[in-house]
Structure 1
């Protein structure tokens, strides 16, 4: 699992987690299949493009605090990953993206209508599977889906006049990213029969570490050099997408930041302006403040782990917190 940045100190744990994630892959392929050839092809499009499977990994690690081998653990991981994949189809339509995981997005390969319908199909498949996990699992999934949609709506509408743009953005990240990662941790623990207090701790951990990973991507988009992170630096700036560093920089009132503030908050389609904005933002105090915020979130997540029984799975979760710090550079 080195691609996920997870350090396993226990070979038996690594073997179990790898086996679990491999089972998820098999069941994912079965879940997206369909007798209709086109539906099967379109639904498997992003699945075939790969991905880190961070959410199934978190399901597996959370289950380690109970009966990790319970078959519902893998099933719940499939539900979470199907839900995640469905949101990617819809996100690419909302963002008018033409690439996803290095491949043409579904909306670029076909069209927006197909991408939306395939996303709906994947949500339906996830709903079908979660119904086998019991009414409480259905309720958790429904509430998670509600948060995902509310987050997307608020992101699309933007903050209301007079709202704090940074607070609005952080709440969107919590709903669009933190909620599903929290559910991954909750499902893994719940399906493994973990005590309720440990379930709650793992759920809160998932929420915090999920937001921290998403926000660290904001920093990487600015700080990385071409090729370092697998994505072109300044992508969010070019598209005018608000991120943690840019929103912090826009709050600054010092005269030295006037030029940077004039560049931020709008798409920078001109290469010269984009390079100028990247240069100014990389040395701006906003980057230090953004790194500190993300580190604080990772530290808060790490502190929660002290409530958990001491075992190799806890060490692996601590390694996820360390990965955030490593990503910040």
Structure 2
């Protein structure tokens, strides 16, 4: 069914009626489509579920196109990003086309679904702005970090789950809570991979988040465990990608058991997600959690 979703997205982009847009679109590589897998697990048989999944994936693609411009990223999933190949202006405008076409198709859905997705995109955009602002200096606040990732990452996953639940006539708030906590856990694992993951699998250098100005959870937990002198040293390496910085940070991460502490936080939110759908008997949703939390690093 994921292939059907990809074909649906392609058909929506064809309707834009632009050969250049088609050329840009051809360079986009689809990811693991977590949001679609989640929605299909909640509402597998509704005739409109493929279209709804395509809408959500288009919103996700749009946000990533804009993110790559903001982050000045030249690699996306191991290949050159759209902004690297076609320039920032074209990447931004392509993102706008994805957003616009997604909202056009969203108008055919129930008002509750349309409003839910629209509110989520406002939150997603707010999270992106806060992420940029927070990148100006080292951030010491876990509260700000969690607020930002709840907006930027978790809100779309939560909205996806809620929309599918509305379509399936299920308790949408249960699934929203599931999606929100899944999204937070997902981002924590992603942050963990940036520090401890295999560079070949990541498709980018390790610790690139910190060098790009992102104070993610592993760095926050490390900061809290350091002496005053080492706290200042960690801050001095913010937005620095030298080998010296990487080696020092890696050594301190190992010494302070940051991998284990961060993974514990991810499992905390994963368990909250599972608790929210207790009694729903949805083994696929449980499997999504397990595959994400117990993945290889």
Task: Give the TM-score of the pair, scaled to structure 2.
Answer: 0.91
- The one of 8, 18, 25 equivalent to 1:43 is 25
Return 5+ residue gaps in structure 1 as ranges.
1-19
Which residue of 1 is the match for residue 40 of structure 2?
A: 60
Instruction: Please list the CA deviations of residues 84-135 of structure 1 after superposition, one character each: whole Å capped at 9, or x if unmatched.
Output: 0000111011111111112211111112111111101000110011111132
Which stretch shifts more, 287-296 or 87-96?
287-296
Which residue of 1 is the match for residue 7 of structure 2?
A: 26
> Could you tell me how far 1:160 is from its partner in structure 2?
11
SS state at 1:38 partner: helix
The question of 1:280 aligning with 2:252 is answered yes
Please give the root-mean-square deviation of Cα atoms over the aligned residues, in Å.
Answer: 2.3
> Could you tell me how far 1:283 is from its partner in structure 2?
2.8
Could you tell me whether the CA contact under 8 Å between 2:77 and 2:202 is conserved in 1?
no
Which residue of 1 is the match for residue 155 of structure 2?
A: 179
**CA 1:150/1:286 → structure 2, altered by over 3 Å: closer, same or farther?**
same
Which stretch shifts more, 20-29 or 293-302?
20-29
Which residue of 2 is the match for residue 10 of structure 1?
A: none
Which residue of 1 is the match for residue 197 of structure 2?
A: 224
Which residue of 1 is the match for residue 278 of structure 2?
A: 306
SS state at 1:132 partner: coil
Could you tell me whether the CA contact under 8 Å between 2:165 and 2:175 is conserved in 1?
yes
Which residue of 1 is the match for residue 174 of structure 2?
A: 201
Could you tell me whether the CA contact under 8 Å between 1:295 and 1:324 is conserved in 2?
no
How many pairs are equivalent?
295
Return 5+ residue gaps in structure 2 as ranges.
none
Matches within 5 A, 1:237-276: 237-254=210-227, 257-258=230-231, 261-264=234-237, 266-276=238-248
> Could you tell me how far 1:228 is from its partner in structure 2?
5.1
Distance across 2 between alignment mates of 1:258 and 1:207: 31
Could you tell me whether the CA contact under 8 Å between 1:159 and 1:168 is conserved in 2?
no
Distance across 1 between alignment mates of 2:96 and 2:191: 28
> Could you tell me how far 1:267 is from its partner in structure 2?
1.6
> Could you tell me how far 1:150 is from its partner in structure 2?
0.8
> Could you tell me how far 1:155 is from its partner in structure 2?
1.3
- The one of 80, 84, 97 equivalent to 1:104 is 80
Distance across 2 between alignment mates of 1:146 and 1:177: 12
> Could you tell me how far 1:321 is from its partner in structure 2?
1.8
The question of 1:315 aligning with 2:278 is answered no
> Could you tell me how far 1:82 is from its partner in structure 2?
0.4
The question of 1:141 aligning with 2:123 is answered no
Instruction: Please list the CA deviations of residues 134-184 of structure 1 after superposition, one character each: whole Å capped at 9, or x if unmatched.
Output: 3222211210111011111111122999x8622111111111111111111
Could you tell me whether the CA contact under 8 Å between 1:86 and 1:123 is conserved in 2?
yes
Could you tell me whether the CA contact under 8 Å between 2:135 and 2:213 is conserved in 1?
no
Which residue of 1 is the match for residue 294 of structure 2?
A: 326
Distance across 2 between alignment mates of 1:263 and 1:159: 14
- The one of 132, 146, 152 equivalent to 1:170 is 146
**CA 1:258/1:36 → structure 2, altered by over 3 Å: closer, same or farther?**
closer
Could you tell me whether the CA contact under 8 Å between 1:209 and 1:298 is conserved in 2?
yes
Could you tell me whether the CA contact under 8 Å between 1:201 and 1:307 is conserved in 2?
no
Task: Give the TM-score of the pair, scaled to structure 1.
Answer: 0.83
SS state at 2:277 partner: helix
The question of 1:297 aligning with 2:278 is answered no
Distance across 2 between alignment mates of 1:328 and 1:225: 9
SS state at 1:176 partner: helix
Which residue of 2 is the match for residue 14 of structure 1?
A: none
> Could you tell me how far 1:238 is from its partner in structure 2?
3.0
